Amino acid sequence: MDWCVGVFRTASGVETVIVNSDGAGYIPRGVFVPRSARMLFADNGLSAEFRARWFSWANPAETMLAYGELASDANPNVELWALAVSTDHGGSAMPARGVVPHFEDCARASSPLAKSAPVSDLDEGHMHRLETLDRGLYARLTGLGEGPLPDRSEAWRMTLAASQAALGRAEAVRDLVVPPVIREIVELLGGGLPVPVATWQALEAAHIDALMYSTGLRPGRLLNDDGASPHVLAYHSLVRLAELLALWSLDKIAYPELAYLAEQIKRAPQMSGIS
């Protein structure tokens, strides 16, 4: 995926917004967002039309520009002042020329950070990815907030709801074939049966295949693209479902990770008969 960071000037100061080219700003596991920033698609004021139009858009700079236009229309005192975007998978700052005062293309090869550079930790200055969507849920699942602690029954309810949503979207696309291993694992887990090691390995292979399809189908590479197709939506949900099911292979359930993936599936746009 490519990432884009937008810096907005507002009447109350500077605000930093982040988006990428995967779904509605999907954050990979182990990536922690600075608390001084926020994810673009976490804005609850976005319309369903905007979410559908820019879902998985190949160049996240264009998504940021569209968001900046919305923000300025809603409040003339808000201005997209600077933009930086990575360029390895379709990202480009070219559309920002003449629109944003400061912009930068950031190719991975030109990064001053070495591959061996330490990654960001989940510390006081960073948020877990579930926090970017629902801080209250993250606090409860980690025992820091009010409400009951999670258990396997809650984790299974989330898993089952996510499975039904993702498989329903896939079944609505006529020529999309769901890897059999996904349904096999859902049935085994639902029946309280162990999943063989070979089956987990087959799930990993299916996840990689679905991820490659999802990446290759992203809209925005052609001039006449106007939003995510049913295939993009369905494959995106299948990728997230495969990641979610794989969490059940761990010795201990990672409740915040599972909840984040379930939310990603739940919040995917509804388009062209996909529910």
What is the DSSP code string of 115-147? TTSPPPPSSTTEE-TTTTT-HHHHHHHTTSSSS
**Which tens digit of pLDDT belongs to each residue from 243-269?**
999 999 999 999 999 999 999 999 999
Tell whether 133 is covered by a domain.
Answer: no
Please indicate, yes or no, whether residues 108 and 188 belong to a single structural domain of this protein: no
Statement to judge: residues 163 and 55 lie in one domain: no
Domain count, the chain: 2
For residue 129, which of 251, 5, 259 has the smallest C-alpha distance?
Answer: 259
Whether 137 is covered by a domain: the verdict is no
Q: Is residue 121 located within the same domain as residue 159?
A: no
The answer, yes or no, to whether residue 129 has pLDDT greater than 70, is yes
7 plus 114 within the same structural domain = yes
Identity (one letter) of the amino acid at 202? A
| Tens of pLDDT, residues 131-151 | 999 999 999 999 998 899 999
Band of residue 114 on the pLDDT scale cut at 50, 70, 90: confident
- pLDDT category at 275 given cuts 50, 70, 90 is very low
* Percent above pLDDT 70 for the chain: 98
Spatial CB neighbours of 109, under 8 Å, sequence gap ≥ 6: none
CB distance 83 to 40 below 8 Å: no
Distance CA(198)–CA(162), nearest Å, equals 23
93, 181: one domain: no
Average pLDDT of the chain is: 94
Torsion of CA 24, 28, 31, 36, to 10 degrees: 10
Q: Are residues 95 and 7 in the same domain?
A: yes
Residue 157: band (very low, low, confident or very high) from pLDDT cuts 50, 70, 90: very high
Based on the domain organization, do 162 and 261 belong to the same domain?
yes
Are 99 and 65 in contact by the 8 Å Cβ rule? The answer is yes
**Residue 113's pLDDT is what?**
86
| Domain with 101 in it | 3-127
Looking at residue 37, its pLDDT comes to 97
pLDDT of res. 224: 86
pTM: 0.94
Segment 13-58, tens digit of pLDDT: 999 999 999 999 999 999 999 999 999 999 999 999 999 999 999 9
User: Among residues 127, 142, 161, which one ends one of the domains?
Assistant: 127
In a shared domain, residues 90 and 197: no
Share of the chain above pLDDT 90, in %: 88
Is 134 part of any domain?
no
Show which of 67, 94, 127 is a domain's final residue: 127
pLDDT tens for residues 158-207?
999 999 999 999 999 989 999 999 999 999 999 999 999 999 999 999 99
Asked whether residue 92 is assigned to any structural domain, the reply reads yes
Assess whether 80 and 187 both reside in one domain: no
pLDDT at 251: 94
Are 114 and 9 members of one domain? yes
pLDDT at 232 over 90: yes
Would you state the pLDDT for residue 272? 44
157 and 123 both lie in a single domain:
no
